[in-house]
Amino acid sequence: MKLSAKAGILSLLSVFIYGTADSAVAKDVEKKAATKPVAKQSVEKKTNAKNSTDPWWKHAVIYEIYPRSFADADNNGMGDIKGITQKLDYLKDLGVDALWITPCFPSPQVDFGYDISDYCDIAPEYGTLADFDELVAEAKKRNIRIIMDLVMNHSSDKHKWFEESRSSRTNPKRNWFVWRDPKSGPLPKNSSGAEDPKSPPNNWQALFGHSAWQWDPKTNQYYYHFFYPEQPDLNWRNGQVKKAMNDVARFWLDRGVAGFRLDAINTLYEVPSLKDNPVKPGKNAYGDPNMDDKYNYLLLPEIKGTMRDLRKVLNNYQDNPVLLGETTAERIEQLIAAYGKNNDEIQLPMDFRFAYINKLSASEFRNKIAEIDENEVGGQPTYVFSNHDIVRHYNRYGDGKNNDQIAKLTAAILLTTRGTPVMYYGEELGMENRDPERKEDVKDPIGILGWPEQKGRDGCRTPMQWNAAKNAGFSTANPWLPVAHNYKTHNVELEDKDPASILSFYKQLLSVRKKNTALKYGKYVALNEDDEHVLSYLRKRGGAAALVACNMTDQPRKVTLDLSKSGITVSEAKVLMASYSAPDSISASSFTLPPYAVLIADVGKSAN
Ligand code: BGC
């Protein structure tokens, strides 16, 4: 599938489902910080002697949690912070190193947390700052770090910054958001042929439907919103905004978080000229004309300076805090650019290209891996298959018959390629998507607006499947979304007991990945580059080498290898793990893989 200009959430939505501190801000941040003594993250020197300079995130696996759906400690049908804390032992046992928690800040919940009305607190429905501090502390005991979601592009229209901004044209915060007069000159005609006196400044459309400009009658101007009207865009050309957001980052870093996932980072800036976007033929799911959003959705150079400044904020903290970017890129060069020329911008720009392939093609995967693995700035690949905006990859890659086997195959690719993988809660179980069947059941507003073509994102946000009891053990109350249909067969309790389950496979992978030197530190070496059916590669470091072979087809496939070209002389490969019942050792030059099977074997010097 070709990437559209609006990759990441953007194409994912449309394709698959769819200066000086402002003293008031500074005071607000200080006041909140004072609710608890600052708990600076201490440096944890749990490093390998050979790689003592590697930051923790270089060998970490990040696990995304959608807090509303993960674990419900107070049994009100909605997940919460205490729920996450209660499940830390599960996450430790699974083997993940950091949790990225999607927004859990106070919010009117129009976009389920991505519309933030206070950046420096916890939403009451999810708990308190004290609950959050407890989560950080308990996670730390288990060597798990917490990454927060930083939504820099927009706030909620209920944030006091916006409420002040919209109160008058002369308010000191007016310029914190993007306000414009109606279009002047010849006005466009409305549907009844009359001129529209309040015509928006240009033809830009919001990603979530209709004009990106919202008329505000109080001050007779429009404000700009790339997403919902309830999510006004912050004006990043105003230095005070940057300062305020950096203060927000400090607030959470002071509380011990290990970094931030940067939301919708490509939309921070718009072209100052506000040029109309070119209109394309046809209409989208919201009934709007299709458009090439080339002037409001592009990687303007200003983003780079903003990222470097944010990195500097992080660099003042111990333990290498990390930036994990929602970096949507049309071209590989754009993704690589996100690291910064000196690798001084986003350490982990998420690579969504696995999420777009959607077919088991050895050559496509091989090409995508090579393109990013060989990036000239030495940036760390950050692969993603699923998240809270897209149909779960269990469904996208599954063929309806071999989904469990395919889920193991994709897990092996995610967790054995070189990089920092990002998992999505429940993928370790083979949780499936459950799209709403009726418009009246839809919770995600884009699903309501775009029904039935656009069903929204509810389907990938269903409750975590803890057991086979009612509501999958997520809550005794009716959950905010119904659980996915496969919870009776795909849940933690059941899969934990089954050595052949997807969960057991993930656990084994995560453990092998940690223990095996080649898988942990080794470079990636593609093998059999002309093989269209089997994706094979080595991870190699000095005398240590691991072989990974993935049969991407529904037929048995013979794999013939000449490892001598890579300096490997062993004749026998010692099987580390496999998704089928493989013998303990196999020939390192020839073996057959059953359909959709994966083999991971030691072919290092010590293997024979
Ligand atoms: C998030 C979405 C959200 C949007 C607006 C995206 O990047 O992943 O869930 O709706 O930003 O904040």
Residue among 225, 226, 227 whose CB has most ligand 1 atoms within 8 A, to mutate: 227
Half-sphere exposure of 104 (CA within 13 A, CB side): 31
Q: Whose CA is nearest to atom 11 of ligand 1?
A: 264
What pLDDT was estimated at residue 21?
32
The answer as to whether 272 is a domain residue is no
* Cβ 137 vs Cβ 179: under 8 Å: no
Alpha carbon separation from 405 to 57, 365, 517, 594 (Å, rounded): 29, 18, 26, 11
Structure-model confidence comparison of residues 29 and 245, the more confident one: 245
Please state the atom number of ligand 1 nearest to the C-alpha of residue 115.
Answer: 12
Cα 191 to ligand 1 centre (Å): 32
Cα 227 to ligand 1 centre (Å): 8
Whether residue 2 is predicted with pLDDT greater than 70 in this model: the reply is no
CATH of the domain at 581: 2.60.40.1180
Q: Over the stretch 291-339, which tens digit does the pLDDT of each residue have?
A: 998 888 877 789 999 999 999 999 999 999 999 999 988 889 999 999 9
The answer as to whether 78 is a domain residue is yes
What pLDDT was estimated at residue 183?
86
Annotated catalytic residue within 326, 330, 351, 435? 326
Q: Quick count: other Cβ atoms within 10 Å of Cβ 278?
A: 12
DSSP assignment of 12-23: HHHHH------H
- Taking the C-alpha atoms of residue 181 and residue 289, their distance in angstroms, rounded to an integer, is 23
| 364 assigned to active site | no
- pLDDT tier for residue 191 given thresholds of 50, 70 and 90: low
Q: Whose CA is nearest to atom 7 of ligand 1?
A: 264
The answer as to whether 256 is a domain residue is yes
Query: 496: burial class by Cβ within 10 Å (0-12, 13-18, 19+)?
Result: middle
CATH of the domain at 219: 3.90.400.10
- Taking the C-alpha atoms of residue 192 and residue 180, their distance in angstroms, rounded to an integer, is 25
Helix (H) or strand (E) holding 92: helix 88-94
Determine the average pLDDT of the residues in 265-284.
Answer: 94
Residue among 109, 114, 234, 391 whose CB has most ligand 1 atoms within 8 A, to mutate: 114
- Three-state DSSP at 289 gives strand
Q: Over the stretch 46-79, which tens digit does the pLDDT of each residue have?
A: 333 456 689 999 999 999 999 999 999 999 999 9
The answer as to whether 293 is a domain residue is no
Determine the average pLDDT of the residues in 220-238.
Answer: 97
- Taking the C-alpha atoms of residue 227 and residue 47, their distance in angstroms, rounded to an integer, is 42
Cα 215 to ligand 1 centre (Å): 23
The answer as to whether 10 is a domain residue is no
Q: Over the stretch 534-550, which tens digit does the pLDDT of each residue have?
A: 999 999 999 999 999 99
- Taking the C-alpha atoms of residue 469 and residue 467, their distance in angstroms, rounded to an integer, is 6
- Three-state DSSP at 355 gives helix
Please state the atom number of ligand 1 nearest to the C-alpha of residue 263.
Answer: 7
Cα 196 to ligand 1 centre (Å): 32
Query: Is 89 in the same domain as 145?
Result: yes
Q: Whose CA is nearest to atom 5 of ligand 1?
A: 114
Tokens describing residue 531: 């093989």
* Cβ 146 vs Cβ 256: under 8 Å: yes
Q: Whose CA is nearest to atom 12 of ligand 1?
A: 114
Whether residue 345 is predicted with pLDDT greater than 90 in this model: the reply is yes
Tokens describing residue 415: 């967790």
Whether residue 605 is predicted with pLDDT greater than 90 in this model: the reply is no
Half-sphere exposure of 284 (CA within 13 A, CB side): 27
Residue among 65, 104, 111 whose CB has most ligand 1 atoms within 8 A, to mutate: 111
Tokens describing residue 338: 């996100």
Query: Is 341 in the same domain as 254?
Result: yes
Helix residue spans in 316-392 (DSSP H): 332-337, 353-357, 362-373
Please state the atom number of ligand 1 nearest to the C-alpha of residue 227.
Answer: 5
Query: Is 439 in the same domain as 532?
Result: no
- pLDDT tier for residue 148 given thresholds of 50, 70 and 90: very high
What pLDDT was estimated at residue 296?
85
- Three-state DSSP at 62 gives strand
User: Could you give phi then psi for residue 587, rounded to 5 degrees?
Assistant: -65, 135
Residue among 149, 350, 389, 446 whose CB has most ligand 1 atoms within 8 A, to mutate: 389
- Taking the C-alpha atoms of residue 26 and residue 163, their distance in angstroms, rounded to an integer, is 18
Query: Is 144 in the same domain as 193?
Result: no
Strands annotated E in 473-603:
523-527, 534-541, 544-551, 557-560, 572-578, 585-587, 590-593, 598-602
* Cβ 608 vs Cβ 571: under 8 Å: yes
Whether residue 222 is predicted with pLDDT greater than 90 in this model: the reply is yes
Cα 203 to ligand 1 centre (Å): 22
- Domain end, chosen from 476, 504, 532, is at 504
- Three-state DSSP at 263 gives coil
Query: Is 341 in the same domain as 458?
Result: yes
Q: Whose CA is nearest to atom 3 of ligand 1?
A: 114
Please state the atom number of ligand 1 nearest to the C-alpha of residue 389.
Answer: 9
Whether residue 16 is predicted with pLDDT greater than 70 in this model: the reply is no
Query: Is 213 in the same domain as 313?
Result: no
Bond into 452 cis (ω within 30): yes
- Taking the C-alpha atoms of residue 600 and residue 577, their distance in angstroms, rounded to an integer, is 5
Tokens describing residue 78: 């909605």
The answer as to whether 246 is a domain residue is yes
With b meaning 16 or more CB within 10 Å and e meaning fewer, what string describes 518-540?
bbbbbebbebbeebebbbbbbbb
| Amino acid occupying residue 379 | G
Cα 264 to ligand 1 centre (Å): 6
Alpha carbon separation from 53 to 50, 57, 59 (Å, rounded): 8, 12, 12
Query: Is 121 in the same domain as 207?
Result: no
- Taking the C-alpha atoms of residue 528 and residue 150, their distance in angstroms, rounded to an integer, is 41
Query: Is 500 in the same domain as 539?
Result: no
Q: Of the given ranges (31-45, 236-250, 283-297), which has the lowest mean pLDDT? A: 31-45
Please state the atom number of ligand 1 nearest to the C-alpha of residue 387.
Answer: 8
Structurally, how many domains does the chain consist of? 3
Whether residue 41 is predicted with pLDDT greater than 90 in this model: the reply is no
Cα 352 to ligand 1 centre (Å): 14
CA dihedral 98, 500, 570, 560 (to 10 degrees): -110
- Domain end, chosen from 441, 473, 504, is at 504
Query: Is 485 in the same domain as 371?
Result: yes
Tokens describing residue 507: 């656990």
The answer as to whether 317 is a domain residue is yes
What pLDDT was estimated at residue 470?
96
Tokens describing residue 3: 């990437």
| Three-state SS sequence of 401-463 | CCHHHHHHHHHHHHHHCCCCCEEECCHHHCCCCCCCCCHHHCCCHHHHHHCCCCCCCHHHCCC
Query: Is 255 in the same domain as 343?
Result: yes
Tokens describing residue 361: 């093609």
Cα 35 to ligand 1 centre (Å): 29
Tokens describing residue 32: 């909140």
Query: Is 466 in the same domain as 418?
Result: yes
CATH of the domain at 144: 3.20.20.80
Computed over its alpha carbons, how large is the radius of gyration of the chain?
25
Determine the average pLDDT of the residues in 377-402.
Answer: 97
- Domain end, chosen from 504, 531, 563, is at 504
What pLDDT was estimated at residue 58?
97
In the structure, which protein residues have their CB atom closer than 6 angstroms to any atom of ligand 1?
A: 9, 111, 114, 151, 227, 263-264, 326, 388-389
- Taking the C-alpha atoms of residue 327 and residue 391, their distance in angstroms, rounded to an integer, is 19
| 263 assigned to active site | yes
* Cβ 188 vs Cβ 251: under 8 Å: no
Tokens describing residue 130: 């004290």
Q: Provide the mean pLDDT of the chain.
A: 91
Whether residue 44 is predicted with pLDDT greater than 70 in this model: the reply is no
The answer as to whether 46 is a domain residue is no
Q: Over the stretch 407-429, which tens digit does the pLDDT of each residue have?
A: 999 999 999 999 999 999 999 99
Cα 390 to ligand 1 centre (Å): 11
Whether residue 14 is predicted with pLDDT greater than 50 in this model: the reply is no
- Taking the C-alpha atoms of residue 304 and residue 300, their distance in angstroms, rounded to an integer, is 8
Structure-model confidence comparison of residues 188 and 227, the more confident one: 227
- pLDDT tier for residue 89 given thresholds of 50, 70 and 90: very high
What pLDDT was estimated at residue 29?
44
Q: Quick count: other Cβ atoms within 10 Å of Cβ 140?
A: 17
Query: Is 529 in the same domain as 575?
Result: yes
Range of the domain at 547: 523-602
Whether residue 88 is predicted with pLDDT greater than 90 in this model: the reply is yes
Q: Provide, rounded to the nearest whole percent, the portion of the chain with pLDDT above 70.
A: 89
Determine the average pLDDT of the residues in 573-577.
Answer: 98
What pLDDT was estimated at residue 190?
64
Determine the average pLDDT of the residues in 440-458.
Answer: 97
Q: Of the given ranges (349-358, 398-407, 503-512), which has the lowest mean pLDDT? A: 349-358
- pLDDT tier for residue 109 given thresholds of 50, 70 and 90: very high
What pLDDT was estimated at residue 51?
61
- Token pair 């009359």 is found at 194
Q: Of the given ranges (42-51, 423-432, 587-596), which has the lowest mean pLDDT? A: 42-51
- Three-state DSSP at 592 gives strand
Bridge-partner residues for 279, per DSSP?
291
- pLDDT tier for residue 13 given thresholds of 50, 70 and 90: very low
What pLDDT was estimated at residue 335?
95
Sign of the C-alpha dihedral, residues 333, 302, 118, 112? negative
Cα 263 to ligand 1 centre (Å): 6
User: Could you give phi then psi for residue 600, rounded to 5 degrees?
Assistant: -125, 120
Annotated catalytic residue within 22, 115, 263, 531? 263
Tokens describing residue 275: 């040029």
Please state the atom number of ligand 1 nearest to the C-alpha of residue 226.
Answer: 5
Please state the atom number of ligand 1 nearest to the C-alpha of residue 153.
Answer: 12
Sign of the C-alpha dihedral, residues 346, 352, 353, 354? positive
| Count of helices and strands (H, E) across the chain | 18, 20
